[in-house]
Every structure is written in structure tokens, then in C-alpha cells.
């Protein structure tokens, strides 16, 4: 599967995908990396791995719609089959993503629908949550509001700060993204008007990341 990754920051999730691809754990080829920040870590990672890159500055465009039109023109040129938003910090224009229904996913550091948007770790601690986690979801026009594919969970410790909680979650976040991309590339996961299907089953709730890195039905796992 031809995959394009969007990223705005250091690129740790991109690095996880590149490393899994290099270990032959993913039946994908990352054909391009796009960023709205030319000097971000994700671009440096992609260049070091020999992956084509493209960057655009939103300030060079009159509005979001025209910026996204230019962005997705590059995606089309790369002949992408799947777009992965991995720490991409811009909201995408609804018209730009419409042709990509079911072929664009995002990883978000919370147990959606809790805490869409920013500062998720701080918000989880402020709310007194005992569990925190990450979600991979299909992208729609609603911010972090598309159907959730799968989640990874970590227990919140009494002495956690936003920084320690984020650091403890990150390895699970990486494994979750790799597992979801693998399932999509293997055509085990798909989304249509009938909902998300995993194999022959229609999902009634998000899948969970198991210890072995596989995706399993949440009911098959004991709650922490």
C-alpha cells in the first residue's frame, strides 16, 4: 500500500512507521511525507530515510481551502492509497478530505471521544481520570470526531505530570498506529456507510491494542 504521512513536529510516529517498514512488519511503502513546517523533525527523518518530502507554508495562501487544495495535489502526484496524519497540527478543509473517505486516518493522544484537540494529557489529569490512552480514527470534517478504529490504554499514576504521562503513553501510541496501518494495508479493516468492519465483523466499539501488538475486540480483554 502506498502511504503518505502528514506531520508537523518531531515525527516520532513517522519514525515508528519507517522502522516497522524497514523490519518488513508493514506491507506498505511510504511514498511521501508532507509538512506545514519545513524545519520540523519529521521532514529530517524522511530525508534521512530517502523518502520524498513536500512542505508548504500556510501564510503563502489566502485561506485554508486553497492551502489544502495545494497539499492534496501533491498527495495525488504521489499516488497515495492511504494518508496517515501523525502529529499533523492543522485542521483539514472538508472539501479536500471528502474524496478520501475511509482512506485517511489520524492518531490522537486521548481515549476519544474524550479530549479532542490539544493538551490532552493535562486535561486527563485535571479530570482525575484513572485511564488515559491514544486513539486511531478515520478522519472526517469534525475535529478528532471520525469513527474510532482502535485504542491503546495506560493507567494514570498518582504522581503523574502531563510530561510523564505523555512519555509513558508514547510507546503504546507508536504500536497502535503501526497495528492500524498494518490492518488497513492487509485489508482487514475498512470503513463504508455501513460502519467499520474488521474482518467479517462490524465494530460495535473500538478495537484494543493487545500486548503482542495485535488488534483485538475490547470484550476479549479484561478491563484494567
The residues annotated with a catalytic role in the active site are 108
Give the containing element (helix H, strand E) for 101. none
The CA angle 155-157-159, to the nearest 5 degrees, is 160
Inter-residue contact 103 to 83 (CB < 8 Å): yes
Residue ranges in the chain assigned as alpha helix (H): 12-22, 41-48, 64-77, 94-97, 120-126, 162-185
- Are residues 146 and 137 in contact, defined by beta-carbon separation less than 8 angstroms? yes
101: left (phi over 0), alpha (psi -120 to 50) or beta: beta
54 bridge partner residues? 34
φ, ψ of residue 39 to 5 degrees: the values are: -105, 15
Would you call 64 exposed, middle or buried from its count of C-beta atoms within 10 A (0-12, 13-18, 19+)? Answer: middle
Is residue 66 within 8 A of residue 92, CB to CB? The reply is: no
Amino acid at each position: 500500500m502506498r502511504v503518505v504521512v502528514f506531520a508537523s513536529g518531531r515525527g516520532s510516529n513517522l519514525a515508528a512507521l519507517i522502522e516497522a517498514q524497514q523490519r518488513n512488519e508493514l506491507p506498505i511503502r511510504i511514498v511521501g511525507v508532507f509538512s506545514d513546517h519545513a524545519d520540523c523533525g519529521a521532514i529530517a527523518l524522511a530525508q534521512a530515510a530517502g523518502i520524498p518530502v513536500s512542505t508548504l507554508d500556510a501564510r503563502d495562501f489566502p485561506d485554508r481551502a486553497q492551502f489544502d487544495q495545494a497539499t492534496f495535489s501533491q498527495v495525488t502526484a504521489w499516488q497515495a492509497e492511504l494518508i496517515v496524519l501523525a502529529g499533523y497540527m492543522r485542521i483539514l478543509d472538508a472539501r479536500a478530505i471528502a474524496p478520501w473517505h475511509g482512506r485517511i486516518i489520524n492518531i490522537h493522544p486521548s481515549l476519544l471521544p474524550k479530549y479532542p484537540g490539544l493538551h490532552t494529557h493535562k486535561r486527563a489529569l485535571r479530570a482525575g481520570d484513572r485511564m488515559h490512552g491514544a486513539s486511531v480514527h478515520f478522519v472526517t470534517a469534525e475535529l478528532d470526531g471520525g469513527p474510532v478504529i482502535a485504542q491503546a490504554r495506560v493507567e494514570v499514576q498518582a504522581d503523574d505530570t502531563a510530561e510523564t504521562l505523555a512519555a509513558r503513553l508514547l510507546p503504546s501510541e507508536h504500536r497502535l498506529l503501526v497495528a492500524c496501518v498494518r490492518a488497513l494495508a492487509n485489508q482487514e479493516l475498512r470503513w463504508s456507510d455501513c460502519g467499520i468492519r474488521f474482518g467479517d465483523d462490524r465494530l460495535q466499539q473500538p478495537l484494543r491494542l493487545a500486548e503482542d501488538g495485535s488488534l483485538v475486540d475490547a470484550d476479549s480483554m479484561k478491563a484494567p
